[in-house]
């Protein structure tokens, strides 16, 4: 039996039993720093990371991109460790490091041999409290970020387009801001903007230290207290998730861009995350897991309904899939993405997609489809635990979205008891036209068919 078959068998066994909860150890320092440890003793390596409960969603109009800008600046040094020294130390210790910014968090990590963990804690706790910024340091980095935006977003027609789609889909919520920031906002940053952001959000009582690898909480506690315990807490502003009001009609953004080589057709539905419902509603227990399974059944693979209909049966597309991001601070989206086949106009895609979705709404899914989805999702979980970075990342996303690590594996129980009726219920509730945003991008007007480009305001 191959590895995939073995994992599928194990996943099926987990479905029949109580599941396999990950061993997660946790404690908190007096200054408010939350510490999470996942022991994994297979190799003498540890992934050390600090996750701040701040991201692009916390920005205000006119200052978009500050979370990402501050991520860049965190590598500019402290009085003890000047700019560039941290990178050299991590490399000399046989490690790698990086950072990333999202809507809900900003995170920094190093993966090193376990004996180098104290050095990583020393470096990371130092820049948590003692980042040094001056205008001569700030301005060149601001230009680097402006150039990054130019290279990664402004020069990419699909990225430019999706910025406009999200601005419309989240007209009131800050999820409608690009993480990298609007071009005019980047041009207007000052060093004081960055310092204010740093001093208000970078504090132990607004962070979680996550370590995954050859370490236990008992071993980690004295190190965390030594290196992070002296960092003073800050008066962190209360986090707010802006409300996107209920909509009564569908939205769309349709564009033609001569730079586009591969057309794009997507529809985004407003959906609850595990922690926040649509239009500030309270999320219902189990809905996120049901929506996750629904995405797998409808568009999770080439054997799923969308692919089989649009690609295999009708020959309208080269690819078709569905996706759902359950772990967010605010509401989220349940999406369908289609790549029309060359020569197929975009207006031919929508009616077929809606037929597929309406069939689920009207008739539900089969038990065989649901069983396969359950096995696939659990198999992915088993595979994922082989990668300490993946474990660290999933835990970081969970805690910064508002999750308690005690409930990190609750979805397994929900998945095990999920019924076809549950899946049909969320399809009926959330796959509605008035809660959708259609996004179509083509390279030539003729590729739209009967669709008309959106007139920008």
Q: Which tens digits make up the pLDDT trace of 50-85?
A: 999 999 999 999 999 999 999 999 999 999 999 999
pLDDT digits (tens, 9 = 90+) for 169-192: 999 999 999 999 999 999 999 999
pLDDT at 445 over 90: yes
pLDDT band (50, 70, 90) for residue 10: low
What is the C-alpha to C-alpha distance for residues 245 and 150, in angstroms, rounded to an integer?
Answer: 32
Stretch 322-335: mean pLDDT: 98
pLDDT tens-digit readout, 238-278: 999 899 999 999 999 999 999 999 999 999 999 999 999 99
**pLDDT, position 456:** 76
Q: What pLDDT, in 10s, does the model give residues 99-147?
A: 999 999 999 999 999 999 999 999 999 999 999 999 999 999 999 999 9
Q: Please tell us whether the domain made up of 23-227 is placed in CATH 3.90.1170.20.
A: no
Residue 97: strand, helix, or coil? strand
pLDDT score, position 6: 52
**CA 387 to each of CA 14, 40, 111, 112: distance values in angstroms, whole numbers, following the listed order:** 20, 10, 12, 14
Average pLDDT on 291-309 reads 98
| pLDDT over threshold 60, residue 294 | yes
Relative to beta strand 96-101, strand 332-340 is unpaired
| CATH superfamily entry for domain 251-448 | Metalloenzyme, LuxS/M16 peptidase-like (3.30.830.10)
Tell me if 23-227 shares its fold with 251-448. yes
Q: Please, which pLDDT band fits residue 197 given cuts at 50, 70 and 90? A: very high
Residue 1 has pLDDT above 50, yes or no: no
Mean residue pLDDT of the chain comes to: 95
DSSP 224: H
What pTM did the predictor assign?
0.95
On the question of pLDDT at 4 being above 60, the answer is: no
Active site residues: 71
Dihedral angle of Cα 330, 408, 202, 222, to the nearest 10 degrees: 170
pLDDT at res. 9: 55
Inform me whether the pLDDT recorded for 13 exceeds 70.
no
> pLDDT class for 21, splitting at 50, 70, 90?
confident
214-238 pLDDT, tens digit per residue, is 999 999 999 999 999 999 999 999 9
For the chain, give every domain's residue range: 23-227, 251-448
Q: Edge-to-edge strand order for the sheet containing 332-340?
A: 251-256, 436-442, 264-271, 332-340, 317-324
The two structure tokens encoding residue 352: 């077929």
**333 band by pLDDT with thresholds 50, 70 and 90:** very high
Q: Give the closest residue to 426 by CA, choosing from 295, 301, 275, 329.
A: 295
Count of C-beta atoms within a 10 Å radius of residue 203: 23
Q: Mean of the pLDDT values across residues 356-377? A: 98
């Amino acid at each position: 039996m191959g590895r995939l078959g073995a994992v599928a068998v194990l996943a099926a066994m987990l479905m029949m039993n109580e599941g396999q909860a990950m061993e997660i150890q946790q404690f908190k320092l007096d200054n408010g720093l939350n510490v999470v440890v996942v022991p994994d003793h297979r190799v003498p390596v540890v992934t050390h990371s600090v996750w701040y409960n701040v991201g692009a969603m916390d920005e205000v109009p006119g200052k978009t991109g500050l979370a990402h800008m501050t991520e860049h600046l965190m590598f500019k040094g402290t009085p003890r460790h000047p700019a560039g020294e941290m990178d050299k130390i991590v490399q000399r210790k046989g490690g790698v490091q990086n950072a990333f910014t999202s809507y809900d968090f900003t995170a920094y990590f190093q993966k090193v041999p376990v004996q180098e963990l104290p050095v990583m804690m020393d470096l990371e706790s130092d820049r948590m409290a003692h980042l040094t910024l001056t205008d001569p340091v700030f301005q060149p980095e601001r230009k680097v970020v402006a150039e990054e935006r130019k290279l990664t977003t402004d020069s990419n027609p699909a990225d430019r387009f999706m910025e406009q789609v999200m601005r419309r889909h989240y007209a009131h919520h800050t999820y409608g801001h690009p993480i990298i920031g609007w071009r005019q906002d980047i041009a207007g940053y000052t060093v004081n903007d960055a310092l204010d952001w740093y001093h208000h959000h970078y504090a132990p009582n607004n962070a979680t230290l996550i370590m995954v690898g050859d370490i236990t909480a008992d071993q980690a506690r004295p190190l965390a207290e030594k290196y992070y315990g002296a960092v003073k807490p800050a008066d962190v502003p209360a986090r707010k998730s802006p409300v996107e009001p209920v909509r009564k009609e569908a939205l769309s953004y349709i564009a033609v861009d001569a730079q586009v080589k591969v057309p794009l057709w997507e529809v985004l539905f407003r959906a609850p995350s595990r922690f926040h419902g649509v239009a500030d509603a309270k999320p219902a227990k189990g809905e996120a897991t049901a929506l996750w399974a629904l995405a797998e059944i409808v568009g999770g693979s080439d054997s799923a309904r969308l692919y089989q209909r649009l690609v295999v049966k009708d020959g309208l597309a080269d690819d078709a899939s569905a996706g759902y991001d359950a772990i967010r601070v605010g509401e989220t989206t349940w999406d369908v993405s289609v790549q029309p086949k060359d020569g197929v106009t975009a207006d031919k895609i929508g009616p077929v997609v809606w037929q597929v979705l309406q069939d689920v709404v009207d008739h539900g899914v089969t038990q065989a489809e649901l069983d396969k989805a359950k096995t696939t999702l659990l198999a992915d979980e088993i595979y994922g635990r082989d990668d300490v970075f993946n474990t660290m990342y999933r835990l970081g996303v969970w805690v910064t979205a508002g999750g308690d690590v005690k409930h990190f594996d609750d979805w397994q129980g929900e998945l095990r008891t999920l019924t076809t009726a549950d899946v049909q219920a969320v399809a009926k509730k959330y796959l509605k036209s008035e809660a959708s945003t259609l996004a179509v991008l083509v390279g030539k007007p003729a590729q739209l068919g009967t669709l008309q480009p959106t007139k920008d305001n």
